[in-house]
Every structure is written in C-alpha cells, then in structure tokens.
C-alpha cells in the first residue's frame, strides 16, 4: 500500500530539478541510470556516494499546486525544498528526512522584514530546510515520522564562526494560512525548529521536538512570529533554547512592519529548556503580542519557566496574557518578566520606544523545587501593569530564602480569599519599589 502510494507520490510529486544538476555534480559519483527514476533509492548513509537532492516546489501535481507527498520508511537525505498550496506531506512510521548539512545547498533569502537583519549576520540569511511562502491549506503529518535537520555541524560551525549568514530554521512557513502540523517528530534543527511567520490559522498538535539540551544554540522549539489564530497542543518539546517563543519583530523594523502575534492558545504540553525558558514571549515583540493563553503545561528541568522579556527600543506591547494550570518542576526561576533585555539589531533603534506590558494573569500555578519563584522587574519607563496572581503555590528549593517574590515597578495583586503566603512578601516588595 505504502509502496504504491510512494510511486504515485514520486511520479506526480517529486520532480528532478534539471537546473540543479550542475550544483549537484560533485555528489553524482555514479550517474543515475535514468534522469527521473520512478522510485528513489533509500539512502544508506554509511556507504552511499550518491546523494540526491529532490525538490517538490510548485511542480507538485503537474504545476497546478496540490497533492500528497508521501515519505515512506527509510532515511531520505535532501536539500532544502519548498512546499506548495493545497498539499499534504505524510511521513510514514520510520520515515526520516535528513537535511543536507553542506550550506552551499541552502538558498539564501532576504532578511525577514520585521527584523531588518539576520539574527547572526547582516545581509541575507539561509532559508529553511522545508519552506513555504504565501501558501494556503498545507498539512504536514504522518505516523510520527521524523524531519531531522542534522544540526550538529551547523552548531559547530556557528561556534567556530565559520558561517557567513544566519542559520536557517528546520520548517518555516511565511505569509501562509490554514496550516496543520501534526503527528510528526522534528529533531536537531540548525536554528529555530518550527517558525510560522505572519501566518493565520495554524494548528500544531501531537508533535515531538527534540534537540540536545546543551550546546545546540538557538534551537527554539516553536516560534509563532507575527502570527494569529495559532493553537499549539499535545506536544513534547525538549530543546537547546526556548521551547516556545512568541515573537513579532524587533525594534524599528518590527515597529514599522507592525504585525502582531495574537490569539494564541498553548495547551497540554510538556517542555524542557535547560539553557533558556519553557514558554517565552519576546524579546522581539515590537509588532505587539496579545491574547495568549497557556494552560495545562508542565515545564521541567529548565532554567526559566514562564518568561516575558523586552527592552527599551522595542516599542509594541504585551497584553492579555493568561497562564493557568501550569506546573513547574526543577526550575531555576519560575515566573520572569524582564524589561531590560538590551540586545538590538543595530544602533538605529529609538531608545524612547518603550513597550507596554499589561494584564498578565497567573492562575493555578504549582511549583516544586524552584529556586526563585517570581522575578518581575519593571522599570520606571516600562512598568508592568495589571498583574494578577491567583492560587499560586511554588515550593522553593531553599525554604529559608525569604524573597520568593523579587519585584520592581509592578502594579497588581493577588486575587482570592486565601492568597498564598509568599504574596505577603510580594506586597512588601511592591511597596519598597514605590507602587
């Protein structure tokens, strides 16, 4: 059955790109018998000298768009390729797409308009392994097959400063809508793993995202960026940077692009981020972030639990954020709002573009073995307004430590008949901070 699907898939979907033959010549130590074989050979990475790059851009289904790309069990090495509208990519059980880790096969693209520059280098950036622009109705699913970015060589080159352009994400969909990504595993991305950029109506469900928790730089799990109507649910994410980071562009570029992230629901996740945070908002939030609900999420063995970060120069706002039924286990700092994350694209930012932070609710938060439960550091220029704590109980590692709540320039308070005892400390701290 699968074999039959695969042949159909290949015949109608995979098209050998004539134009790329030159670039691929060095790999073709043995020329293929036919220019467009019906069935690609499974690649044995240990012995094969032949690497085939396959493309499935808008040639899918004869150039009209649409169709299903079936990836059967086995390892499939490929260069970056583009998806098309009305398309399903199906990764069978035991299927693994491996991203080629030689950067000369990665196309360069202009920087994202809301960032102005690549994150690591000025000028263009590498595209993503699996990419799409201006798409409608795309499904990436399967029987828990894997897309593996083979990130290690990228991370090593990044540390050794051997790259001239910003690394590419594993999956990046831009200016697209009606997207479903479900029932797959994403592993070892060179950079951010899954990046919906200016997308609308995106569902990410039953996805496992993995990268080493240490020395896998910038391997964020999911970065909803200037996107709206996004659901992220039933996922397990354990990566080398933020598990989830909601963004909307940076400084003057993000302010003038002006596309917020809004209406985002994150639920039923288990996440781990040894070096960064479980659920992050920012620091790039210049287009604004609002209407985020995080519920039934467990953050374990992580540096930060729930974090919002921003800085002067960012502009924008973070509003209407609700966290409920969140469990924090073995986390260094549980709840964090940081307003002086001063990392900028360039010197052209407006230091008086102060972001607005308001209406952030923490409800039903449980913590065990947390070193510092709450650290909310507003400033005179960027106060944190309308913070609500209700039914928050965080067990600390060091029971003698008094400052469970370290707060400055914060306005708000606990709700409910019996506020948890640390709130007493919090009230005192608030008064000390002048509110």
Q: Kindly state whether residue 206 participates in binding ligand NAG, applying the rule CB under 6 A.
A: yes
Q: Which residues contact 154 (CB under 8 A, 6 or more apart)?
A: 101, 103, 163, 167, 190, 191
d(Cα 72, Cα 170) in Å, to the nearest integer? 20
For residue 22, indicate whether it is catalytic.
no
Which one of 43, 61, 65, 217 is in contact with ligand NAG (CB under 6 A)? 65
Helices (H), 36-139: none
Question: What SS3 class is residue 424?
Answer: helix
Size of the site for ligand NAG (CB under 6 A): 53
Joined tokens for residue 132: 């799409």
Whole-number Å distance between alpha carbons of 276 and 377: 18
Q: Which stretch binds ligand NAG (CB under 6 A): 27-35, 238-246, 294-302, 375-383?
A: 294-302
Instruction: Identify the residue among 52, 125, 158, 303 touching ligand NAG (CB under 6 A).
Output: 303
Q: Is 411 in the site for ligand NAG (CB under 6 A)?
A: no
For residue 119, the minimal CB distance to ligand NAG (Å) is: 17
Nearer to ligand NAG, 6 or 165 (CB): 165
Encoded tokens for 146:
């894997």
Q: Which residue has the tokens 């709700």?
A: 415
What binding mask, one character per residue, do residues 218-237 give for ligand NAG by CB under 6 A, x or -? ----------------x---
CB of 428 to ligand NAG, least distance (A): 26
> Considering 223, 241, 242, 251, which one is annotated as catalytic?
241
- 291-to-171, 176, 211, 265 alpha-carbon distances in Å: 25, 20, 29, 8
Q: With binding defined as CB under 6 A, does residue 164 bind ligand NAG?
A: yes
Residue 183 is a binding residue for ligand NAG (CB under 6 A): yes
189 binds ligand NAG (CB under 6 A): no
Beta carbon of residue 58, minimum distance to ligand NAG (angstroms, whole number):
9
Choose, by CB under 6 A, the member of 94, 291, 413, 419 that binds ligand NAG: 291
Q: What are the DSSP E strand ranges found in 310-355?
A: 317-338
Q: What is the C-alpha separation between 33 and 308, in angstroms, rounded?
A: 56
Of 364, 368, 369, 427, which one interacts with ligand NAG (CB under 6 A)? 364
Q: Answer yes or no: are the C-beta atoms of 194 and 222 closer than 8 Å.
A: yes
Distance CA 397, CA 11 (A): 60
Which regions of 83-159 does DSSP assign to beta strands (E)? 87-91, 95-99, 108-109, 125-126, 130-133, 136-142, 146-148
Q: Which of 119, 121, 152, 332 binds ligand NAG (CB under 6 A)?
A: 332
Please, how many CA atoms are within 13 Å of residue 21, restricted to the half-sphere of its CB?
Answer: 9
128 binds ligand NAG (CB under 6 A): no
Residues recognised as catalytic: 241
Interface positions with ligand NAG (CB under 6 A): 57, 65-66, 80-82, 85-86, 103, 107, 109, 127, 131, 133, 136-137, 139, 141, 144, 162-164, 178, 180, 182-183, 185, 201, 203, 205-206, 208, 214, 234, 268-270, 274, 290-291, 295-296, 301-303, 319-320, 322, 324-325, 332, 359, 364
């Amino acid at each position: 059955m699968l074999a039959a699907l695969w042949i159909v898939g290949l015949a109608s979907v995979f098209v050998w790109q004539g134009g790329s033959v030159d670039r691929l010549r060095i790999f073709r130590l043995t020329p293929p018998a036919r220019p467009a074989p019906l069935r690609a050979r499974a690649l044995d990475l240990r012995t094969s000298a032949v690497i085939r790059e396959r493309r499935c851009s808008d040639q899918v289904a004869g150039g009209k768009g649409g169709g299903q790309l079936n990836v059967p069990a086995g390892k499939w090495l490929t260069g970056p390729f583009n998806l098309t509208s009305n398309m399903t990519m199906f990764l069978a059980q035991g299927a693994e797409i491996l991203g080629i880790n030689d950067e000369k096969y990665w196309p360069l693209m202009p920087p994202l308009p809301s960032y102005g520059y690549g994150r690591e280098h000025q000028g263009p950036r590498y595209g993503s392994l699996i990419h799409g622009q201006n798409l409608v109705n795309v499904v990436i699913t399967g029987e828990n097959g894997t897309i593996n970015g083979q990130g290690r060589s990228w991370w090593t080159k990044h540390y050794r400063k051997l790259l001239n352009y910003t690394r590419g994400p594993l999956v990046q969909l831009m200016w697209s809508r009606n997207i479903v990504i479900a029932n797959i595993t994403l592993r070892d991305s060179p950079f951010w793993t899954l990046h919906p950029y200016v997308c609308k109506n995106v569902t990410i469900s039953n996805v496992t995202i993995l990268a080493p928790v240490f020395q896998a730089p910038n391997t964020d799990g999911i970065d909803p960026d200037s996107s709206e109507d996004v659901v992220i649910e039933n996922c397990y994410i354990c990566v080398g940077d933020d598990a989830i980071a909601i963004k909307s562009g940076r400084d003057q570029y993000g302010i003038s692009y002006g596309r917020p992230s809004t209406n985002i629901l994150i639920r039923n996740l288990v996440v781990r981020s040894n070096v960064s945070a479980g659920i992050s908002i920012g620091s790039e939030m210049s287009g604004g972030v609002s209407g985020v609900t995080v519920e039934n999420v467990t953050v374990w063995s992580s540096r930060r639990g729930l974090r919002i970060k921003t800085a002067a120069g960012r502009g924008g706002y973070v509003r209407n954020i609700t966290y409920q039924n969140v469990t924090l286990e073995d986390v260094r700092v549980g709840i964090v709002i940081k307003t002086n994350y001063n990392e900028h694209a360039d010197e052209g930012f407006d230091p008086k573009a102060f972001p607005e932070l308001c209406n952030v609710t923490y409800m039903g938060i449980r913590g065990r073995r947390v070193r510092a439960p709450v650290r909310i550091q507003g400033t005179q220029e960027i106060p944190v307004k309308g913070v609500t704590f209700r039914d928050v109980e965080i067990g600390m590692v060091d029971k003698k430590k008094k400052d469970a709540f370290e707060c400055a320039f914060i306005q708000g308070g606990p709700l409910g008949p019996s506020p948890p005892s640390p709130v007493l400390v919090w009230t005192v701290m608030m008064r000390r901070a002048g509110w």
